[in-house]
Structure 1
Amino acid sequence: MGLLVGNPVYKPFRYPWCYDAWLTQQRIHWLPEEVPLGDDVRDWQKNLTPEEKNLLTQIFRFFTQADVEVSNCYIRHYMNVFKPTEVLMMMSSFASMETVHIAAYSHLLDTVGMPETEYSAFLKYKEMKDKYDYMQGFDVKSHHDIAKTIAVFSAFTEGLQLFASFAILLNFPRQNKMKGMGQIVTW
């Protein structure tokens, strides 16, 4: 029995490390409103240069949507393929945490005063629209499709794209700017 075959009963676990990952995720739960953003509003209004605001705006245009896509991948793809209960528990907690990230990034953007039109602004940029369209074309109908979906969403979208953005965003708190944003990204 492997990852593609469910458990007839809750225990024994075949993948106890998945349960441990679920438990760890539950213990570190947080909500966006726990992060103070008052200083970020001041930074956005008074302390960021036009170039810094432009850089953040460009990153934020696809940032929230990228986590929407990662969450959707867990729910629409992974959870339909991988069947052991403890694996589903882990993945559902990961998908749930992605919704916290989505809400946190949105809370940041809304709090600093970015208009809601920015959430869809990425669709006006060919490269961003192409990336978004490409991400919509994945499925898990075969083992090859499963591997490709894992590579694109878990390695490239989550692992490369979002973490590359984190590296840029985390430079702002190092300069004593956008510290709430830094806390959100760190969490």
Structure 2
Amino acid sequence: MNETHVTIRGNLVAEPDRISSAKGDFSTFRVAVNEFYRDQVGGGYVDGRSSFYKVVAFRAVGSNVQQSLKKGMPVLVHGILRMSQWQTSNGETRSAPEIEAINVGPDLRYGIATYQKVPGQNQRGGGSEQPSWRRDGNPTTDPWGNASAEAAPESAVADLTGDAAEEEPMPSSGPLVEQQAS
């Protein structure tokens, strides 16, 4: 599936809205992304255009957004870019960019945050922790819920002593650029 993943950094322009639907609750909020550039004459920074993005956050992310973020906070949002379309009352079709949030957090360049784990949520954003399996085949608790409750077959246990353990990680292009394989 081809999806366009984006990461934006900006400020919340209003309090997040909680919306209830037949499929469940979710949060929406708007982020203003302000461009700025260095003035070639004076050398100072000059404000450029502002872009506004609607962000939709489902499940645990949406719930945590409601409890954590307030108007004016600097945030980082990573998610899937989509185009939202609707009809106006006079029949015109309008569209705007919308981001389905995967990750949302405060921008720590401008302040500090205190992290508080929500009981009953694992790091994948839902449900209780499920049993997993260690290399020796014994069950353990995996906070990501990666394995099923059945015993892992011998072929599923990774050998970390071979060539894979010596591979170096790919260098990062920067803090806001995510490298993805197509």
TM-score after normalising by structure 2: 0.23
Structure number with greater CO (CA < 8 Å, separation at least 6) is 1
The structure with more helix, counted as a fraction of residues: 1
TM-score after normalising by structure 1: 0.22
The structure with more strand, counted as a fraction of residues: 2
